[in-house]
Structure 1
Amino acid sequence: MEPTIYLFFNGNCLEAMTHYAETLGGEITGVFKNGDAPVAEDRMPGGDDLVMNMAMKLGNAMIMASDAPGQWYSKPQGFSVSIAPASIAEFDRIFSALSSDAQSISMAPGETFWAERFTTFTDRFGTPWMLNYTGSKAV
């Protein structure tokens, strides 16, 4: 059994997940929009273009997501999506792409006692991220 990350967005799920797939080398495996529901009563409020369910394969992991319209949406807290880039160059590329127009950068990229480079930030879509390149400090 493996956990699946499930993210909720405030109306920009398709844009966010497409950006993540392009940045991280993921593969979008399915997108089901509100308008795809065959029965109108099964649709969530907010319009046909909202994403009801979307899936992206990233390595051996699956990241799923949907829009959470209006009062259904709450700001993510208490977790981060953690990525371990394979090199400092890859770390810098991913950080640049995901932190562009970031809502906040809580810890700028830098060396720690456990990693050659580490950072935490919340991207423009509201997703909290943690990037960790251990490099020579790998256990």
Structure 2
Amino acid sequence: MTTQLAAYLSYDGNCAEAMNFYAQVLGAKLEALITYGQMPGGDPVAPEHAGRIMHAYLVHKDFALMAGDVPPGIPFAGIQGCMMAITFPTVAEAERVFKAFSEGGKVTMPLSETFWADTFGMVTDRFGTPWGINGGPRTM
């Protein structure tokens, strides 16, 4: 196996909805969606937490993305201090994904030309995940 690096995002009860949305928009496959109630062995979780997602695994031909709802007793402060940066070969694909992520979210920087890509913009989607979306990368 080769070394791999993947983002692991945390949510507060809406992980399943977010990961299903990302799978659909990004053309990926959601390979695992395991709730706390489905965990093998260990201590049982409180009934109100059993339906929350312990581990989600989304696979695309070019990347993997993992996520889960915060464990019981862990306060959730949102996703802070980072953003998911994704690059598409074309402006059209970047525009499509940016539009989908913008619905119900907040655009922090509209798509526009940059020195590193034909288009780049930043949006925090409706699940609270910040994204930097590139389309048509340029050689720097």
TM range (shorter): 0.7 to 0.9
Match of 1:95 among 69, 90, 98: 98
Question: Alignment RMSD, CA only?
Answer: 2.0
- Residue 74 of structure 1 aligns to which amino acid in structure 2? A
Residue correspondences, number? 137
Aligned sequence identity (%): 34
Q: Which is further off, 12-21 or 27-36?
A: 27-36
Answer 1 or 2: which has greater helix percent: 1
Structure 1: state its 5+ residue gaps.
none
Please report the TM-score for the alignment, with normalisation by the length of structure 2.
0.87
Quote how far apart the aligned CAs of 1:70 are: 6.7
SS in 2 for 1:97: helix
Task: Give, as a single letter, the amino acid of the residue that structure 1 aligns with 2:95.
Answer: D
How far has the Cα of 1:64 moved from its partner? 0.7
1:33-48 matched pairs, under 5 angstroms? 33-38=35-40, 41-43=43-45, 46-48=48-50
Match of 2:126 in 1: 124
Uncovered stretches (5+) of structure 2, i.e. residues with no partner: none
Moved more, 53-62 or 69-78: 69-78
Write the mapping of 1:45-84 to structure 2, written as runs, cut at 5 A: 46-68=48-70, 71-84=74-87
Match of 1:138 in 2: 139
Q: Secondary structure at the match of 1:116?
A: strand
Question: Hey, which bits of structure 1, 4+ residues long, moved more than 3 A?
Answer: none
Residue 64 of structure 1 aligns to a residue whose secondary structure is strand
Counterpart for residue 22 of structure 1: 24
- C-alpha spacing 1:24/1:44, structure 2 compared with 1 (3 Å): farther
* TM norm structure 1: 0.87
Contact conserved, 1:35 with 1:48, CA < 8 A, in 2?
yes
